[in-house]
Chain A
Amino acid sequence: MSTTRPDLLDPSTIAALGRIEIVARWIVDGFLTGLHRSPRKGFSVEFAEHRPYLPGDELRYVDWKIAARADKWVVKQYEEETNLRATIVLDVSRSMAWRGDESRLTKLAYAERLAAAIALLFLRQRDAVGLVRFDDMVRTSVPPRVRTGQWQRIVAALDDPGAGHASFAPAALEQAGRLILRRGMIVLISDLLMDQPDVISRVRALRHAGHHVAVLHVLDPSERDLPARGDALFFDPESEVEVPAVSADVRAAYRETVDRALGEWRDALAGVGAAYEVVTTDAPFGVPLRRAFAMRQRLP
């Protein structure tokens, strides 16, 4: 029966069923159903507002007075119930708008749905979530909030223009750091087709500032295994760099190089205390979502 869960469906299949917010909601609902318990943990003592009771909320936060007086179940929310301030840094450069096969989502489409789902999941557990979109510059910046409507703002921001020719993550990471005034979590979703030292340097700075950094490295399967195109002239849509190659000849070497490059990212990020996960666009959204959730759960 697990195959009917939206978070475990084929990404392109479920993406075809509706808009981003609908799809992201299905994904998160399916994901939470699989957890068998509420993801929320900890509430602050400084009251902020009431909100309707939702299944999974701890009964101790139910405002019994209102329940007795108005026969209406609400829970008390406090300013400090938000455990974490998180910013999702989404790469929307030209290289992300690519797919190796028409049956798959582009890396950007996959990343946008994944970002929406993560934002919704984090918001569901009272984390403040913001969004930074970037290509060769910061295109969108949504400060992290936990209020109702934050997720709609994030989803709406995903439609902002972008897809410039280059990728420059350091500026976006710096912007994300600025958006989080105190220690928080920054989730970078990118194909990481950029210079590693610049990214690592910025991640190190974020880590020094006390932020937790998680990197979801989005890859199309065809980027792990060179597509069979015979003798071809391969060109980078961002830099227009051309490399002639015979795919059959260089496939083994290419795969070895990609594995080595991924290992280098993993080691470098681990070296500065950042989490790192490789996500391929043919994997169900539940997989990266679970990893992002696990990263979040490991935080205090």
Chain B
Amino acid sequence: MIDFLSPLWLVAGAAAAVPLLLHLLRRRIGARVEFPAVRYLARAEREHSRKLRLRNLLLMLLRMAIVVLVAAAAARPVLRVSGAGHAPTALAVVLDNSLSTSVIVAGHPVLDDLRARAAQVVRGVSPDDRVWLITADGVVRGGSRAAILDDIARTEPLAGAGDVEDAAARASTLAASAALPEREVAVVTDGQAAAWPEPVSLGAVTVFAYRPRGDAPPNRAVVDARAQPVRWTPGGAIQARVMTPDSATYRITLEGRTLARGTVTRDEPVLVRAAPPERGWTTGSVELEPDELRGDDVRWFATWIGPAPAVRVAASAGPFAAGALDALVQGGRARAGGDITLASADEVTALPALLIAPADPVKLGAANRALERLGIPWRLGAARHGETSVRGAANAPVPLSDVTATLRYPLAPQPGTRPDTLATAAGEPWIVSGPGYVLIASPLSPDATTFPVRAAFVPWLGDVLSQRLSADAGLVTNATPGAFVARPAGADALELPDGDRTPLPDDSLAAPARPGAYFYLHGATRVGALVVNPEPFESDLHRLDDAALAARLRGRRVTTTDDGARFASAVFATAPRRPLVAPLLAAAVVALVAESAMVRGTRNAA
């Protein structure tokens, strides 16, 4: 099988007709020359006609062969033959440098082995090939063999999972786009099952995959760590989850100081409550003892810590609200003051406030006028009677179980309102929230709803006061290394752990590659946090076997192996088509030399 890389040059082979035409027309060319000894000439041609015809035919064939060989060489043919060499190949090497490849096995990171395999493959690249390197973070590098080898040597493990499947897909696109006879993707990966969750289609390219031999070592990792709630006023809790095959010792830090230590067993959640003295945005971490994979032994979190909210409860709020607030004050989660008002909607004159539907329907009009005056885009409808179950929002920090409403004023949003519904009754908004307000559609009395007499009421009230009605300190954004996140409104810079600040001119930003807690800044004020941690699944080092890995890669032909030497030799072994340019040119030179020798030999003999 012969392929031509520049087939248009084959048209030049038509020039081979020139020697043929000259051969056929030669007896019609030339001058008429007087020559008395024509009888000798005629006799010579007669006696040597066979030899002369054979020689002329051979010369013609040689000249035609020269033209055809040069034209064929210009068309850059490649031939499938056995032996050394390979057809010009577009090779995209996918080097998995996800966090999992930094695990230490036999004293060396797995990435060292992967780099060596990738380099071994790239060393087989010839000048006629094209080669790219794609790492798990999706970065594509192209260039000469030397440049790619240098890139491989300088490839460092990521702090997160990256997206190896996306890198492989990108590699197949690159290889398929090249106008070369062979298109191959060489995947060098640790075979982590979590990195190859689904089959990835790689099109019509030949795929070779290498994964290290053997199983991954056991791994301990902090797969979840968060402050609960995000705003501590001033108390809160740290929730964490540790992946460990047996037990592990953990340490929780806050602003660098140890907040707690403990031991956790497999599948046991960690919950540590604290009321630290720090105020404002604070960073903390949950750490394990170092193991073979260091990158997931620490997980970061951020929280805002402030004083307990100062609340003034009006008589119109009812005795149950007053009682609940007393409980919160005694628990240190609230204090008496005038920052937040807790009253019937018709009596509230300023925000922030927890507004309660009036117990007397007569005050409904006054309540709606107060809502309008306060800029709250909700209105209370005509009273409805009848017991209705209340359902809390799915993400509510405090579940509202076994709550019913027997008197309620259906809440109607004003046009353009983006509802933030905390609870519904009969499918209609029952508790809604917005900037500086929370509005309840029933009076907080047992004859209107069971909510104030339920156990969830006090913690719900504490959560609302601290998280929704206290001053807005900003939000926490969780991201993986390198992931793109939206820039919070008002943020103009990102504060790095070392105190430096990076301007944020765009509406989105790439999360830093290094895990940690970063703060959004508005001027000099922290207005939120960006917490960067690796993907939890990246800590699961379980590897796919060859068959399973092959099943994930869907190409024209897929070969997987855990034998490094076989992998390196196999990449170009399926493309053993040797470029024929050099042999054809050599043959053309030989034909040229033979033709010259024949002509010169004739002249010398003459």
Query: Which A residues are within 8 Å of any B CB, using their own CB?
Result: 94-95, 98, 191, 193, 223, 225-227, 229-239, 241-246, 248-258, 261
Contacts and interface: CB of A to CB of B under 8 A. Distances in A.
Interface in B28-45: 28-45
A226 B33 contact: no
B88 to A, nearest CB: 43
* Interchain residue pairs A-B with the least CB separation, the first 10: A251-B606, A231-B30, A95-B36, A253-B48, A252-B605, A257-B44, A236-B38, A232-B30, A234-B35, A254-B44
B395 interface: no
B246 interface: no
Nearest to A253: B48
A252 B31 contact: no
A191 B26 CA distance: 31
B36 A233 contact: no
Contacts of B41: 226, 234, 243, 245, 250, 254, 257
A183 B476 CA distance: 142
11 contacts: A226-B606, A235-B32, A235-B33, A242-B32, A243-B42, A248-B599, A249-B52, A253-B47, A253-B51, A254-B44, A257-B47
Contacts of A225: 606
A145 B32 CA distance: 45
Contacts of B47: 253, 257
Interface in B49-66: 51-52, 55-56
Contacts of B43: 257, 261
A250 B27 contact: no
B29 A231 contact: yes
Given A231-B26, A232-B30, A232-B31, A255 B36 contact: no
B30 A235 contact: no
| Dominant SS among interface residues on chain B | helix
B603 interface: yes
Q: How large is the interface on B (under 10, 10 to 19, 20 to 34, 35 or more residues)?
A: 20 to 34
Interface of B: 26-45, 47-48, 51-52, 55-56, 599, 602-603, 605-606
Given A251-B602, A251-B605, A229 B33 contact: yes
Nearest to B33: A232
A133 to B, nearest CB: 18
The interface centre, meaning the residue of A193, A226, A246, A253 with most chain B CB atoms within 10 A of its CB, is: A253
B30 A249 contact: no
Given A238-B36, A242-B32, A242-B38, 18 more contacts: A95-B36, A223-B40, A229-B31, A231-B26, A231-B29, A235-B34, A235-B38, A237-B36, A243-B38, A243-B41, A243-B42, A248-B606, A250-B52, A251-B603, A252-B602, A252-B606, A255-B605, A257-B47
Given A251-B605, A251-B606, A257-B44, A98 B34 contact: yes
A118 B55 CA distance: 46
Nearest to B56: A249
Contacts of A249: 52, 55-56, 602
B45 A245 contact: yes
A228 to B, nearest CB: 9
A98 B26 contact: no
A226 B29 CA distance: 18
Nearest to A93: B36
Given A248-B602, A249-B52, A251-B602, A256 B44 contact: yes
